[in-house]
A and B are shown apart, each in its own frame.
Chain A
């Protein structure tokens, strides 16, 4: 089975791992460049010095959370849909290897490879981000793209996408519809989790006079606190200053005695949030494995 799995899926596996390798080498070189560019720069100037270096690469890396979709389409969907579409499942499932063994080997090996690839990519991006230590650019918690691209969540997204593609292929039995459903479900779930993320835990509240919070915390909301203790939501104008122009609004707010309130998730909750999202994704993966097992091992061929 190891040989069969490798033989049938080596193109996808080789392309994926060589792309990861290329990205890893690029990030390594870029990261080493960042470290040497940062030596000798005073700490308060680091952010300025790194601004361009960071932005030019971040522009591309901010798309990494969508990459698992390609795993769903190119790794997951063909596992069952290609066999069912070409009728080769009749050959594959009537050999001395039982259907159950066939399925366990395929899902186990490919799922493991997908999860490891995702974790590896997450580690590479975390390492690259850590070269910007001491600036706001290291943030991988408040930045939703970097949260999904680092830590254990990266591996969980890759594994989930793989299982989603496999299940879609098993249920729909044809490649094109399986692709379409995989893309649609993945995008919807991604949007849902991106907007649900801030509610994984009750946010903390902090009143500040200047708009500063520790780097790495995830700001989920803001408000203005009047001297009487009334909170005005951050997106609504303060009543005393509603008629002020854009230039004078902020001075008016501070003259009226308002303070800023932030709702935020502190930076040390990063791993808690990572495991929460990983748990959600693994549950979804297990739920999707149900129809796959039924399709392969239970139904008559």
Chain B
């Protein structure tokens, strides 16, 4: 199985290695335009399209599933071998990307830290979990839909929804620390992940700017909220030492998603008539 997996997927493996090496060189040269950095959270979709979807679909579309699933290696072993072998490769690729981006942040003068919304998902162990999640998603879409283009379309749509969903919910993994406005301004430590901002009243009730804007649509929100008793501003943030806790939370969420997708894939492969 190991040999078969390598033989069938070596192109993807080499292309991915070259791509990650390319990112590394570009970052070392420190010549990456901001537009490219901004796209990093969407890079894992390539793993889903080129590793995940073809895994089962290629066999179905070419009819080779009839050959490969009637060998001495049982279907259950075939799919477990494929998912495990490729999963390990994908996870290692993610770890490499995470290490490269983390290393780049340490040496460059970029204003974005590893705990910023833009880069959090591309540093540490998060890329590894993202790669695994989208790989399993692509495989499941392929196993269910059995055709390349629809499976790819579904992978892209679900992945984009997942990226936006996770990046919006990230700040709620644990309750944030709340910094209140004082005469010296609001003291938010450097490298913190900033979440909600808003106003607070004397009783300590908080209202985000989002709610404040909808309450006083036409008026200046600062004056309008002060009239309602919300005279003090606040910033909710997560201090920099929560970085690893957040990394593991995000990784765990994505791994649960990946496991569910892998289970769907295995079920479809093992149960469906050939």
Contacts and interface: CB of A to CB of B under 8 A. Distances in A.
A256 interface: no
B35 A73 contact: no
Contact of A52 (B35, B149, B153, B210): B210
Interface in B86-144: none
B70 to A, nearest CB: 23
Interface string A6-44: 000001100100000000000000000000010011000
Contacts of B150: 11
Interface residues of B, number: 25
A179 B33 contact: no
A49 B149 contact: no
A176 B50 contact: yes
Interface string B195-230: 000000000000001100100011111000000000
B39 interface: yes
A180 B209 contact: no
Given A179-B50, A180-B15, A191-B36, A74 B152 contact: yes
A190 B35 contact: yes
Contacts, number: 48
Contacts of B35: 144, 190-191, 194
B156 interface: yes
A73 B152 contact: yes
Contacts of B210: 52
24 contacts: A12-B149, A15-B153, A48-B221, A49-B218, A51-B213, A52-B210, A52-B213, A53-B213, A60-B164, A66-B39, A70-B156, A73-B152, A74-B149, A78-B149, A176-B50, A179-B49, A179-B50, A180-B15, A180-B50, A183-B46, A187-B36, A187-B39, A191-B35, A194-B35
Given A37-B217, A66-B42, 7 more contacts: A37-B218, A48-B220, A49-B218, A51-B213, A78-B149, A176-B50, A179-B49
Interface of A: 11-12, 15, 37, 40-41, 45, 48-49, 51-53, 60, 66, 70, 73-74, 78, 144, 175-176, 179-180, 183, 187, 190-191, 194-195
